[in-house]
Amino acid sequence: MTIRHIACCTDFSENAEVAVATAIDLADKYKARLFILHVMPPAVNPMLTDTEWVIAEEPRSSLVLKLKERMQNTYADRIPEKLEHELIVLDGHVSTEILGFLTEKSVDLAVMGSFGFTGMGLVVFGSVAKRVSHKAPCSVMIVRNPEADRKS
């Protein structure tokens, strides 16, 4: 298996942090281009009817810029300078955006935490890792967080 492009999906959770560290190590080992990807989900409360939807007070473009800044602040210093990489923020349905990105960039390996959302977020959004692993055009590595496993 040739690995030239690695995408790591993050939601800034503890599990995603372990996945990012793993993806950085793999990209360094394989001299692969690394994409660290965050998808901003739609701001929709599924419990509301379409006439009750509330538009966020802040424009989505402004939120995307803030997320790009957070990505830069959180991950840029952790990536070795010699490693070719991009920090990317997308806006839309999380698993759909990830799957489209994997195809568009011809990603060879996607790295994800075992889960991010908990509680109601998991019920509403489902398991992104599960959807991506079932439909991805590439291999998917699901990284477990040993610390989180000990807590449960």
Residue 93 lies in a domain: yes
Q: Count Cβ neighbours within 10 Å for each residue of 40-54 and write b for 16 or more, e otherwise.
A: bbeeeeeeeeeeeee
Residue 86 lies in a domain: yes
Range of 135's domain?
Answer: 5-147
Question: Residue 54 region, left (φ>0) first, then alpha (ψ -120 to 50), else beta?
Answer: beta
Q: What is the pLDDT of residues 14-64, one digit of tens each?
A: 889 999 999 999 999 999 999 999 999 876 555 555 555 555 556 778 888
Helix residue spans in 11-119 (DSSP H): 14-30, 60-75, 94-104
pLDDT at 119: 44
Domain count, the chain: 1
| Alpha carbons 136 and 145: distance in angstroms, whole number | 22
Helix (H) or strand (E) holding 123: helix 120-125
Residue 97 lies in a domain: yes
Residue 120 lies in a domain: yes
- Is the predicted pLDDT of residue 126 greater than 60, yes or no? no
| Domain harbouring 49, CATH code | 3.40.50.620
Helix axes 94-104, 128-135, angle to 10 degrees: 30
